[in-house]
Structure 1
Amino acid sequence: MDHVLTLVAPRGGLSPATLHAARDALAAIGATTGTPDWLSPDEAADLPFAGLAPQQADAAGRAALEGQAVDIIAQGSAGRRKRLLIADMDSTIVTTETLDELAGQAGIKDRIAAITKRAMNGELDFEGALRERVGMLKGLGVEALQRTWEETELMPGARELVATMRANGARCALVSGGFTFFTGRVAALVGFHEHHSNMLLEADGRLTGHVADPILGRNAKLATLKRLAAEEGIGLDATVAVGDGANDLDMIQAAGLGVAFRAKPVVAAAARVRIDHGDLRGLLFAQGYRAADIVLD
């Protein structure tokens, strides 16, 4: 079979009946289907198929399983394992928006979070919105950064994603519109080879309300994906990119496996691959890794 439909659910949430429903939906529109292959019991399975484009299979599977907490990824069978991972940080590798949480230290989280929400859904220019939010933090003591870091949590599956891809020879880069104070710590904790982000400026132990130029935004994320792929001597089809906000969309659409992870509406609507229910292990199952292949940190 030249294509595969991967179904992923929160652990314990994928049943044989659900898999059979997806198979029947593909068969009903003319696909030839093969024997299902369980990648992780009750969590992830591959359904080989032929005779349909991935977009057709994806749409049929989603319609058949509407209302169920199951993610569906249709793609070609060849070249599933990728050699470069580019990941956003906020609301992707970590569970929060670190700038919003930092604003909480200044007592203005709601004000800044409202701007973040609009920027991440593509309603505001990212660079302008970032400068505006950082400006609102002028005078905040830099010790607030450490307090914010101590309250930051990793997204489930983050360590397994990076550790497994590293163990299989992939280069892993954290590329964020956030700040180096956080990306450096996240990269070290999770195991990324490198991190790229923005720098908050400070003086006399306080934030100045400015961010260093140039700002790493939407265009820079795409440029980083292309540059690192070229450095590795691979095509973009051998890359995976994951993120949740509008500033991630260009790199998501350019990557061989571009994943909108629990994404904002504008991103979820534009990305062909979405993970709405599972954790970051879903990116491994999408690449054909089995539960036994996953490196546990």
Structure 2
Amino acid sequence: MQDLVIQGFTPPLRLADFRLAAFDMDSTLISIECIDEIAAVAGRGAEVAAITEAAMRGEISDFKDSLRRRLALLQGVPASVLEHVLRERLQFNPGARELCAALKAAGLKLLLVSGGFTYFTSYVAEQLGMDFVRSNELELADGRLTGGLVMQAWGEICDGEEKRRMLLQCCAELGCQPSQAMAVGDGANDLPMMSVAGLSVAYHAKPKVREQAMVAINQGGLQSLLGLLQ
């Protein structure tokens, strides 16, 4: 497998032509799938991880259903597990900080859009200087996960279609075209936003995502994307 695969356009690209960069979180900006780590700490890892893998590969077409199934398995898990995962297991992928810093320095706005959870996206967004964030909020009762999510003003579950809608909403707010946005992800639920962006980047991604992206980074860090942008 080639380290960097370019398809669908001829470089070089001009960084100045872009106004927005949208990022998935789990397995893209960070090295873990947070829901799998929560399940692993709680002793329910194998079953949850299997559903996550199938969903990210596109073998389960309904992301909302797959998320609800995984959350149901976490009912009753102490909220303290979230803190443990954040402090002990969450690590940024190589080049994440460098790429985001370079894009911000070039004047781009950054969007973090995740099928993961606000407990983690809040931290990642603060660390990387995100301008927009959309993700799911875990419901807690008596210090434990209920197995459900909190309804937010925009809806309950950030799935692939919501990622796409959020990218388009941010473009409208910035007064730019979707062709002036780049989208970076690794799983099947990133494909809708990648399909409307001017540049789609698959990072250490599932086969279905690698095949459809304009750029696939298969080895090394996220900062390698900067080599394509002048």
Confirm or deny a common fold (TM above 0.5): yes
1:265 aligns with 2:200: no
Q: Which structure 2 residues correspond to residues 1-297 of structure 1 after superposition, within 5 A?
A: 68-72=2-6, 74-75=9-10, 77=12, 79-81=14-16, 82-124=18-60, 125-150=62-87, 151-213=89-151, 214-288=156-230
Contact 2:3–2:217 under 8 Å retained in 1: no
Consecutive unaligned residues in structure 1, runs of 5 or more: 1-66, 289-297
Structure 2 partner of 1:38: none
Structure 2 residue identity aligned to 1:122: G
How far 1:68 sits from its partner (Å)? 4.9
SS at match of 2:91: coil
Q: Percent identity?
A: 42
How far 1:76 sits from its partner (Å)? 5.3
CA distance in 2, matches of 1:236, 1:278: 27
Consecutive unaligned residues in structure 2, runs of 5 or more: none
| Divergent runs of 4+, >2 A | 67-81
Structure 2 residue identity aligned to 1:210: G
How far 1:190 sits from its partner (Å)? 1.8
How far 1:147 sits from its partner (Å)? 0.1
Structure 2 partner of 1:36: none
How far 1:233 sits from its partner (Å)? 0.8
Contact 1:71–1:277 under 8 Å retained in 2: no
Structure 2 partner of 1:52: none
CA distance in 2, matches of 1:121, 1:70: 20
Structure 1 residue identity aligned to 2:161: N
Contact 1:172–1:192 under 8 Å retained in 2: yes
SS at match of 1:128: helix
How far 1:173 sits from its partner (Å)? 1.1
Residues 70 and 284 of structure 1, relative CA distance in 2, 3 Å threshold: closer
CA distance in 1, matches of 2:97, 2:13: 26
How far 1:78 sits from its partner (Å)? 5.8
CA distance in 2, matches of 1:70, 1:164: 19
How far 1:111 sits from its partner (Å)? 1.0
Structure 1 residue identity aligned to 2:33: E
SS at match of 2:114: strand
* 1:4-45: CA deviation from partner (whole Å, max 9, x where unpaired): xxxxxxxxxxxxxxxxxxxxxxxxxxxxxxxxxxxxxxxxxx
Farther off after superposition, 174-183 or 252-261: 252-261
The alignment of Structure 1 onto Structure 2 pairs a total of residues equal to: 222
Contact 1:90–1:97 under 8 Å retained in 2: yes
SS at match of 1:122: coil
SS at match of 1:75: coil
SS at match of 2:124: helix
Of structures 1 and 2, the one scoring higher in RCO (CA 8 A, sep 6+) is: 2
Structure 1 residue identity aligned to 2:148: H
CA distance in 2, matches of 1:210, 1:102: 14
